[in-house]
Amino acid sequence: MEYQVVSREPIPMIGIELRTSNSMGKAMLDIPKHWEKFYRENMLTKIPNRKSDDIIATYIDYESDHSGAYSLIIGCEVNETEELPEGMIAKTIPGASFAMMTAKGPLPISMINAWREIWSSDLKRTYSGDFELYGSRFRECSPPEIDIFVAIES
Q: Model confidence over 110-124: pLDDT tens digits?
A: 999 999 999 999 999
Taking the complete model, does pTM exceed 0.75, yes or no?
yes
11 close to 99: Cβ distance less than 8 angstroms:
no
Q: What's the confidence (pLDDT) of residue 39? A: 96
Query: Is 81 buried (19+), middle (13-18) or exposed (0-12) by CB count in 10 A?
Result: middle
**Total number of domains constituting the chain:** 1
The domain of 33 spans: 4-152
- pLDDT of 110 reads 94
Nearest to 134 by CA among 46, 75, 91, 78: 75
Q: Which long-range contacts (CB under 8 A, 24 or more apart) does 65-71 make?
A: 65/125, 65/127, 66/22, 66/118, 66/119, 66/125, 66/127, 67/21, 67/22, 67/23, 68/21, 69/19, 69/20, 69/21, 70/19, 70/20, 70/21, 71/17, 71/18, 71/19, 71/20
CATH number for the domain harbouring residue 73 = 3.20.80.10
Average pLDDT, the chain: 95
Give the residue ranges of the chain where pLDDT is below 70.
none
